[in-house]
Structure 1
Amino acid sequence: MFIQIIQGKVRDADEMRRLVDEWREQMGPTADGWLGGTYGMTDDNQFVGVVRFESREAAARNSGKPEQGEWWQRMEACFDGAATFHDCDEVAMFLDGGSDDAGFVQVIQGRVSDPERFRHFMEQPMDMLHEQRPEIIGGTIAMEPDGWFTETVAFRSEDEARAGERKEMPAEARRDWEQEMATMQDVKYLDLHHPWFASAS
């Protein structure tokens, strides 16, 4: 799987939502290798789109279509400044992955100092996470070669997510979590209170 993250400050959130829906309805059905996407706006009008493709090559073929270029021109006009792209070949899904049933999605971004260690962490079973945080439906982790990562975590509701955050973790799980957090820099959290989703039929 390949994930492309598109984000940036937005000047016209309503038009951006309309254009994302337009793409899903009109171009999504014929897009090469498109699997789906998670989208949302933060409280300070930051748009985040996490789009999944079968491969980088499929995404590139889709980007080369004339209709894609015309659509992106209209989409780009909604941003207040330049949009940022993150292209990630290293992708992992955990638990049930992203879910169209989620009522709240938290996007976590940052950089890891030891990408190889983080890859190993990504590959581990998530049984303990499911046991300790049952309100987490699932999510995705995407990483670039330099260690920059984007993680999406899907919850049924924000209330359940906040309640889960307040739970005391068992000592072993807390130690593992703290060790992983120590390898991360420039971590930021982007809360999508009203996410929306798209998926290939």
Structure 2
Amino acid sequence: MFIQVIQGMCSDEAALRMQMDRWREGLAAGADGWLGGTYGMTDDGQFVGVVRFESREAAARNSLRPEQGMWWEETSRCFDGEVTFHDCDDAILMLDGGSDDAGFVQVIQGRVEDAERFRAFMSQPMDMLHEARPEIIGGTIAIDADGFFTETMAFRSEEEARKGEQMELPPEMSEQFNREMEQVTDMRYLDLHHPWFATAMPA
């Protein structure tokens, strides 16, 4: 799976959401290989979009469509300044992969020294995590070529997420997690209090 992470400051959320709705209603059907996306705004006005494709090639084909170019030209005007893109071939689903019914999404970003080690840790069975933190529906983890990662964690509600943060992980998992976090730098959390979602319809 390929994930593209899109971020930028936006002072007109309504206009941006309208553009996103236009894409879903008018362009999504022609985006071969598009799987879906998770979107939201932080409290300080930063838009975060985590868009899933079957492959990098599928994402590239979508970008080359003339109608996609016209849509993006209009959509880019909703942003206040530069928009950044992180293209991640190294992308996986965690637990159930999230849900379009989630009421809160936390985005975690940072940089890892050893992407293969980090991916192996995050790809292991998460039975212990699911038992310790049942409020986590699932999420995605995407790592770009420079070791910059974006993780999404979907929850039914922010209240459940905050309660879960106070719970202790099983000792074995806590030890593994703390050891893995030693290689992470520049970590930050982006809270999407009112996320929205889009999912490709089955063929």
Partners in 1 of 2:61 and 2:113 — Cα distance? 33
Match of 2:81 in 1: 81
Partners in 1 of 2:138 and 2:116 — Cα distance? 23
Match of 1:136 in 2: 136
* 3-state SS, counterpart of residue 77 of structure 1: helix
Alignment deviations for residues 53-111 of structure 1 (CA, whole Å, 9 cap, x no partner): 11110110110011111110111111111100000001110111021010000000000
Match of 2:182 in 1: 182
Match of 2:46 in 1: 46
Match of 1:165 in 2: 165
Partners in 2 of 1:2 and 1:187 — Cα distance? 22
Match of 2:27 in 1: 27
CA shift for structure 1 position 12: 1.3
Match of 1:13 in 2: 13
Aligned-pair identity (%): 68
Match of 1:98 in 2: 98
Alignment deviations for residues 147-187 of structure 1 (CA, whole Å, 9 cap, x no partner): 11000000000000000001122322221111111110000
* 3-state SS, counterpart of residue 108 of structure 2: strand
Alpha-carbon contact 2:129-2:169 (below 8 Å) kept: no
Partners in 2 of 1:70 and 1:196 — Cα distance? 23
Whether 1:115 and 2:115 are equivalent positions in the alignment is yes
Partners in 2 of 1:97 and 1:123 — Cα distance? 12
Count of residues paired in the alignment? 201
> TM-score, normalising length from structure 1?
0.98
Match of 1:67 in 2: 67
Which residue type is aligned with residue 155 of structure 1?
F
CA shift for structure 1 position 11: 2.4
* 3-state SS, counterpart of residue 27 of structure 2: helix
Query: Structure 1: any 5+ residue segments left out of the alignment?
Result: none
Whether 1:147 and 2:147 are equivalent positions in the alignment is yes
Query: Structure 2: any 5+ residue segments left out of the alignment?
Result: none
Match of 1:124 in 2: 124
Structure 1's consecutive aligned runs of 4 or more residues displaced over 6 angstroms after TM superposition are: none
Match of 1:194 in 2: 194
Which residue type is aligned with residue 119 of structure 1?
R
